[in-house]
Homo-oligomer: A and B are copies of this chain.
Amino acid sequence: VVAGEVSPPTAEDETAFSEAELKKNYRLACTTYPKSDVKILVPPESLSAPQRTQVEGLELKVQPEPPVRGLPLRLHPPTLDKPESDDQNLMAALQEQHSVSAGLIDIEVQRLMPGVLRRSGWSASAAMRGHEIVAIGDHATRWLGLAADIGTTKIAVYIVDMASGETLASRGLMNPQISYGEDVVSRIYMSSRSPENAQTLQMLLVDALNETSASLCAEIGADPADIVEAVIVGNTAIHHLFLRLPVHQLGVSPYVPAIRSAVDVKARDLGLRFSPGAYVHLLPNIAGYVGADHVAMLLATEMDREEGIHLALDIGTNTEICLNCRGRMKSVSCASGPAFEGAHIRFGMRAAPGAIEHVRLSGEKLEIQTIGGVPAVGICGSGLLDVVAQMLSNSVIDPTGKMHPHPLVRRLDGSLEFVLSEQNNGKTVTVSQRDVRELQLAKAAIRIGIEALLEDAGITEKDIEKVIIAGAFGTFIEVESAIAIGMLPPLPVGRFEQVGNAAGTGARLALISESMRRAAGRIALIDGYIELASIPDFNRKFAAASSMTWSI
């Protein structure tokens, strides 16, 4: 229960939840009565229907050059004749056995070292990061890394073997900050109001990463204390909220980040329970609304290496778009909103079993396909895109988005809606006029971003040689539908490529490769940035962009 009053905890609640959970207002829905308007959060882990995973992305094609390397060592126990201190003993072994000079030992490693060396019979594995020893374990320790793509709505977490670069486990989950606002602007406002709020918003992410990493490690028989390095990407607001940097200046003109450069911070300084000396690396940001997740996406898609004219979109609650026009890269950020995630849509839902994901309409003949092939309970983003495209091509809506009479259109409470599925049990899934308007807002935001980039480069959409669509939502959409409603430019479908969670892939690349970190730094430096808010005549252009055709 996030807000409002409910009946007190029952005996069943007390059995089901820990005291800490009860204090956090966890309740069994089946025994709780609202006493006022309430706001509740349904934890993703409590859903019986599994969510379509958000973690798939491009394969890692690079040779690992891990920023943290585990070096096995054999030491000589000290004697009265040679009473060598543990640190100098260890450093001598590093020099002799690996030709490595360690200049620094993390204070937590200093504390662990004497015990580890004596318990292991003077053999060990030292995890080196540059000249710093960040962790120490026994000879056979498999050192792990964690990569996370923290989206406004969803989080993808990966556990990676630092030596081989292999992804050992992964999981998608909801961003728990969502209970404090669906979009980043409301979270910026929340966080700016008090240091306590800022701490709450940060700790939600930290707790989520701690819980997920512990659970993923358990899956592969490892210990979170073996995680010696993490790479986190997110948009600039999420990046700042995660580091508990001030965000007020992100919300007011000229919308500047506190920090653009890459950040290395001890995991413990953020409350993350990894190896006690582990670092978290955050890729650089480009601007107030073009963040490290965009850099990660560009890294994974190798956008900076293209020599033609390429467009890349990472579609989400915030959509970032980059145009590489013959080596000149510019990016833009659009507040596309959470409609694609199913929010603000009457029967909208996330991409879970029972969600309508594809629709075909031909005259009065309607075909729907649900995830899992089970009876429809709602509609997800790709389904919504499909149905609106089909309504348009069948003139159920006109290019302005207005709905017209049709055998499948009915009037409810004075407004029209298109009936997608009528079940025997009375559960009807429809798309309303208002749902169409929501989709129009989202697509207008994306479209105006693309147009701003084309105009800035002095080219037209026909010149685009390749369009890369990243993000979980982008993976599952029908490109034809997106073209049909004027969200994507009308190009041959062969020029489109859907790559899944490229930001997550970029985070994993940066996790296991120092070259990739350097490449990310270069990308953040060369990628120019257009502030949509500074575009003249923005409102008129936005209204025009909501039209259901590309050519206005």
Chain A interface residues (CB < 8 Å from chain B): 78-80, 83-88, 91, 104-105, 107, 110-111, 113-115, 118, 243-246, 248-249, 253-261, 263-266, 269, 285, 287-288, 531, 533-534
Instruction: Tell whether A249 pairs with B114 under 8 Å between CB atoms, given A85-B257, A87-B261, A260-B87.
Output: yes
Please report the C-alpha to C-alpha distance between residue A85 and residue B113 in the assembled complex, in whole angstroms: 40
Instruction: Tell whether A110 pairs with B254 under 8 Å between CB atoms, given A285-B85, A531-B80.
Output: no
Closest to A260 in B: B85
Please report the C-alpha to C-alpha distance between residue A260 and residue B253 in the assembled complex, in whole angstroms: 52
Nearest-Cβ distance from residue A514 to partner chain B, whole angstroms? 15
Starting from the known contacts A87-B258, A114-B248, 16 additional A-B residue pairs (CB-CB under 8 Å) come to A78-B254, A80-B531, A80-B533, A83-B254, A85-B256, A85-B259, A86-B257, A87-B261, A88-B261, A104-B264, A105-B259, A110-B243, A110-B258, A111-B245, A113-B258, A114-B258
A91: which B residues are within 8 A, CB to CB? 261
Contact B107 A246 (CB under 8 A): no
Contact A245 B78 (CB under 8 A): no
Question: Can you identify 18 A-B contacts, CB atoms within 8 angstroms?
Answer: A78-B254, A83-B254, A86-B257, A86-B259, A87-B257, A87-B260, A87-B261, A88-B260, A104-B264, A107-B265, A107-B269, A110-B258, A110-B263, A111-B244, A113-B258, A114-B246, A114-B249, A114-B258
Contact B80 A534 (CB under 8 A): yes
Contact B83 A246 (CB under 8 A): no
Contact B83 A531 (CB under 8 A): yes
A78: which B residues are within 8 A, CB to CB? 254, 256
Please report the C-alpha to C-alpha distance between residue A104 and residue B261 in the assembled complex, in whole angstroms: 9
Closest to A86 in B: B258
Contact B249 A107 (CB under 8 A): no
Please report the C-alpha to C-alpha distance between residue A259 and residue B105 in the assembled complex, in whole angstroms: 10
Contact B114 A80 (CB under 8 A): no
A84: which B residues are within 8 A, CB to CB? 256
A83: which B residues are within 8 A, CB to CB? 254-256, 287-288, 531
A80: which B residues are within 8 A, CB to CB? 253-254, 531, 533-534
A80, A88, A114, A245, most chain B CB atoms within 10 A: A114
Contact A110 B245 (CB under 8 A): yes
Closest to A236 in B: B85
A246: which B residues are within 8 A, CB to CB? 111, 114-115
Nearest-Cβ distance from residue A463 to partner chain B, whole angstroms? 28
A257: which B residues are within 8 A, CB to CB? 85-87
Closest to A257 in B: B85
Nearest-Cβ distance from residue A461 to partner chain B, whole angstroms? 27
